[in-house]
Amino acid sequence: MKTLSIVIPAYNEEDTIGPCLESCVAQTVPAHEIIVVNNKSTDGTEAVIREYQKLYPSAPIILIQQSEAQGITPTRNAGFDAATGDIIGRIDSDSIIEPNWVEETIKAFADPTVAAATGPVVYYDMPLRRFGKVADSTLRKAMFKLVRDYKFLFGSNMAIARSAWEQVRDETCADVEDLMHEDLDLAVHVNDAGLKIVYAPNMLAGMSGRRMDDSPSDMISYFGRFDRTYNHHGVRDRILRVPAAMYLAIYPIAKTMHWGKRLRASVTKN
């Protein structure tokens, strides 16, 4: 069986990295290694990671430091370069993966022609989670069918064969100005290399809806990363702009639901 390394970039994630690591340890098929890349955190992130290393001494939780540059791209790259598994799984520090995530991700690479895979997410701290899961997966499946040349990768829930990473890593963009989506940039380079990306519907990860706390201007800038990424690479397929347009359209509703849930939780607590 192929081995899988989990890479988790982390910056000031003391509140979320613990549950994330819990989910990585509690897998039906153990990960080859769980690499947390600390990117100059100023809170208790590192202390929490070390606590979990002590709590699970037999688990392959590895802490590495990426202090040369601030940003998700160099932090991800440091983790990918350090990984020794046949497959490199990539999640966020607020992700909570399903217990069979490693198992299902490895299955996605049973076809030797598969270079990378991505799966659906469920927003575990948002209302209507079941509906959200179905809607998310339906949209991603539709995108994979509609897009001919540039299949996407979603950084909160993706994996890439280590051999594929080694093939494209020197071509990926450093994005020093932090204007693009690093996962889409990686996907563009994987596609340009003629490598195969697949959608794996059983490769399920939970993620937080905390981005709904961002201001409207920050969210507009975030959604603008889709266009900036594809424009930078000269990719003109309009279908690729659909997710950004849809997420921007439902943002006011999602934000209202998110704040409503927080308000109800606050009232119940008090």
pLDDT, one tens digit per residue, over 6-43 is: 999 999 999 999 999 999 999 999 999 999 999 999 99
Strand 87-91 with 157-161, pairing: antiparallel
| Residue pair 140/157 in contact by the 8 Å Cβ criterion | no
Q: Give the SS3 label for residue 30.
A: coil
pLDDT, one tens digit per residue, over 166-192 is: 999 999 999 988 899 999 999 999 999
Residue 38 lies in a domain: yes
Q: CATH number of the domain that 40 lies in?
A: 3.90.550.10
Residue 250, CA distances (Å) to 29, 78, 120, 257 in order: 36, 34, 18, 11
Residue 188 lies in a domain: yes
- As for how many domains the chain has, the answer is 1
Answer yes or no: pTM beyond 0.85. Answer: yes
Residue 217 lies in a domain: no
- Phi and psi for 7 in degrees, rounded to 5? -115, 130
Domain of 76, in residue numbers: 4-208
Residue 223 lies in a domain: no
- Phi and psi for 94 in degrees, rounded to 5? -105, 10
How far is it, in rounded angstroms, from Cα 60 to Cα 179?
A: 34
Residue 228 lies in a domain: no
